[in-house]
A and B are shown apart, each in its own frame.
Chain A
Amino acid sequence: MEKWRLLKTGYANAYRNMAIDEAILYAHSKELAPPTVRFYQWNPSAISIGYFQSLEREVDIDECHRRGIDYVRRITGGGAVYHDKELTYSIVISENHPEIPSNILESYHRICGAIIKGLYNIGINSRYSPINDILVDGRKISGNAQTRKYKTVLQHGTILIDVDVDTMFTLLKVPDEKIKDKFIANVKDRVTSIRKIRGEEISFDKLADALKKGFEEEFNIKLVEGKLTEEEEEFAEEFEKNRFSKKEWNYRR
C-alpha cells in the first residue's frame, strides 16, 4: 500500500500557514517531498482571500487591525474565509498521480471525498456540492480551493468546528451595505459547523484522526506522520518573507 506523509503543523500565523502549503507544493514538484496531507490551525485567527479577490473590497482591514486578525492573499482562487474555530487541511500531490483526475472539477470532487469520508467517521453525512463546497443538509460545512503549478496539485480547505457569523462579518465586507442584516441572516441559514450538528465541539485531534482515516479510505493509502524537511522549511521561510507577508502581494488586487 502506498504511503503518503501526514503533517500536523499546529498553530501558525496566516503568512506562515500559506507559505508552508506553497513550500510543500514546490518541494513535491522538485521530488523533494512525498504526497502530503497537512492539518493545521491559525493563530491569530485570520482572513484569507482568494487569488482573484480585491483585498480592500472584501476585507475591513481597519477592523482586522483593531482585533488583531491576520489577513493574507492565497495562491488559490475562491472566496474570502474567516479562519477561526476550524481544521484546515491541505493536500499536495502530483497532477499525474493515478488517483487524481486530470479534470479539475472531478479532482475537487475526489479530494472532497476524503473529507466526506472523514466526516462520516464522526457520524456526519455530507455531500460534495460543485464547485468547491461540502454540505450537510444543504448547509456549508467546508470550503475548498485548488491550484495547479509545476504539474502539482495543491488543494486546501476548511472544516468548520464552530462558526461565528456575526464576527465574520465585522471583518468581511458584505456585497451590499443596504441589505447587510438580511445578508448575514441568510449566511447564518446556509452555514453549519460540527458544533451545530452534534450539539458539542469536537477536539482538533479527534477530527484530525477521523479525517486521516478519510484520506486513507478515499485514496487507499497509509498516512504516516512526518515533519517538514529542511528544504521545505527553507522554502517556507522564503515564501513567507518574500510573498505572503508583503504588501505588494496582499494588496495586488
Chain B
Amino acid sequence: MKTEYDYKPPNGKLLRISLEYDEKKRIIQNIQITGDFFIYPEEGIEELEKNLRNTLLLEKNLFDKISSTIDSNNLIIIGFTVEDLVGGILGGICRDGKMAST
C-alpha cells in the first residue's frame, strides 16, 4: 500500500510523508519525509528514512526508532517533534482506514 500524507504540526513546519507499507505485516517498506523543516546535519534525513524501513507501524516502535536515530546521529530537528513525525506517518494510514480494523 502507498499513502501520501501532509501534516502541519502546530507552530511547526509542514511534513509531507510518502509511505509504502505492507498491510499484513504492518511494516514500513519505504518512506520519504519531505517538507520545509530543518535537520542538522541535513544528511540525517537519509539515516532516518533508512532506519524506519522494516519498522512496525505502531506508535511505540516508530517513536523508539526515530528517537534512537536522532540520538545516535546527534540530530537536531527544528520544525517538528518525534511525536509529530509518528503522527504524520500513522496519519495517512488512519485516514485511508486500511489497517484500522486489523
Contacts and interface: CB of A to CB of B under 8 A. Distances in A.
Interface of A: 50-54, 57, 75-80, 104-105, 131-132, 145-149, 175, 253
B79 interface: yes
Interface string B21-46: 00000000000111111111110010
B35 A53 contact: yes
B38 A146 contact: yes
A145 B13 CA distance: 13
Given A51-B42, A104-B76, A149-B41, A79 B6 contact: no
Contacts of A253: 32, 34
Given A52-B37, A77-B42, A131-B79, 17 more contacts: A50-B35, A51-B42, A51-B45, A52-B38, A57-B34, A77-B39, A77-B78, A77-B79, A78-B36, A78-B38, A79-B13, A104-B38, A131-B78, A132-B38, A145-B38, A146-B38, A147-B42
Nearest to A80: B36
Contact of B42 (A54, A75, A105): A75
Contacts of B50: none
Q: Please give me the 5 A-B residue pairs with the lowest Cβ-Cβ distance, nearest first.
A: A79-B36, A77-B38, A54-B34, A51-B42, A50-B36
B37 A77 contact: yes
Contacts of A57: 16, 34
B36 A53 contact: yes
Chain A's interface: helix, strand, loop or mixed, by majority?
loop
A135 to B, nearest CB: 15
A80 B34 CA distance: 12
Contacts of B13: 79, 131
A105 to B, nearest CB: 7
B82 interface: no
Contact of A148 (B36, B40, B45): B40
Nearest to A253: B34
Contacts of B79: 77, 131
A145 B76 CA distance: 15
A81 to B, nearest CB: 10
B14 interface: yes
Interface string B63-79: 00000000000001011
A80 B6 CA distance: 16
12 contacts: A52-B34, A52-B37, A53-B35, A77-B38, A78-B38, A104-B38, A131-B78, A147-B42, A148-B40, A149-B41, A175-B6, A253-B34
A54 B36 contact: no
Contacts of B33: 52
Nearest to A49: B36
Contacts of B76: 104
